[in-house]
Amino acid sequence: MSNDAVFDAFLAKQLEEGLAWAKNIGVLSLSPIPGAPPSRYVAHFVDCKGLVQQNDGRIVEFDQFMVGIYFPEDYLRHVEIPRVLTYLGPHPSPFHPNIRPPFLCAHLVPGTSLVDILYACYEVWTYSIFSAADSLNPAAAQWSRQQDRKRFPIDRRPLKRSPRRTNLTPMEAK
């Protein structure tokens, strides 16, 4: 526990919401690194298509990635994205304008929730969102500019689906 009740409450809420969301969407394994409450997480997305560059230079689809998320003590008041997000693999050469291991660039503001961070990471990985202007990987930025925009996103499945539980009961005939 830190001496900061507001930050501790934030962390506790992220743990609860993050685990519930990960369980709900099914393509994410979220592992909190022990702490009371945890301030670090390893998120392993599976079955999410992004692009990687193979040793022979070919650009191919790859369906998993891992990202480390760290909430430093001043996270609610100040954000440094390199400190919050770390690309952890498993592929060493992701091909994306805004990813260059170990950095992953996404839009965050102080206090962005864990679920929103994870969603932002998914959007970056699948090319739902990318910025070719401020790029970490110039080759990927140039490549993405040359592509037909209809090619993106690589994975079109929306992630933030909350299952609708509707109980349908047949109406009785009058």
Partner 1 sequence: MNAYQAKIIRRLRRDPSRPRGKRVLVVGCGNIGSQLVPLVARMKGIGMLILVDCDGYEESNLSSQSISSSDIGRAKAFVQARLARKLNPRLRVLAIHARLECVPLGWLRSDVMLACLDSKEARRCANEIAWRLGTPLIDAGIEASGLLARVNIYRPAANQPCLECAWDRRDYAQLPVKHPCDAGLGPSTPTGAPACLGALAAALQALECLKILAGDLSNAGKQILIEAGTHRHFLTGFSMHPKCRFNHAGWNASKISRTPAQLSVGAALRLASDAGASLTFAGMHLARQLDCPGCGFSPRVYRLEERLSRRERICPQCGQDLLVAGFHSQSQLKTKEVEPVLAARSLASLGLRGGDFISIKGSQRESFYELGGAPAVARSRLITRSIP
Q: How far apart are CA 19 and CA 58, in angstroms?
A: 36
Are 2 and 73 in contact, with CB atoms under 8 Å apart? Answer: yes
Site string for partner 1, 25-64 (x = CB under 8 A): ---------------x------------------------
> 19 or 79, CB closer to partner 1?
79
User: Is residue 4 part of the contact set for partner 1 (CB under 8 A)?
Assistant: yes
Instruction: Name, in order, each residue with C-beta under 8 angstroms of 146's C-beta and a sequence gap of 6 or more.
Output: none
Tell me how far, at minimum, the Cβ of 117 lies from partner 1, in Å: 12
Q: How far apart are CA 50 and CA 87, in angstroms?
A: 13
User: Is residue 108 part of the contact set for partner 1 (CB under 8 A)?
Assistant: yes
User: Is residue 84 part of the contact set for partner 1 (CB under 8 A)?
Assistant: yes
User: Is residue 6 part of the contact set for partner 1 (CB under 8 A)?
Assistant: yes
Q: Is 173 helix (H, G, I), strand (E, B) or coil?
A: coil
Q: How far apart are CA 94 and CA 89, in angstroms?
A: 8
Tell me how far, at minimum, the Cβ of 111 lies from partner 1, in Å: 6
User: Is residue 134 part of the contact set for partner 1 (CB under 8 A)?
Assistant: yes
Are 49 and 62 in contact, with CB atoms under 8 Å apart? Answer: yes
User: Is residue 110 part of the contact set for partner 1 (CB under 8 A)?
Assistant: yes
150, with CB counted inside 10 A (0-12, 13-18, 19+), is exposed
Task: Considering only residues 143 through 172, tell me which ones interact with partner 1, judged by CB under 8 A.
Answer: none
Q: Enumerate binding residues for partner 1 (CB under 8 A).
A: 3-7, 40, 68-70, 72-74, 76-86, 88, 98, 100-105, 108-111, 131, 134-136
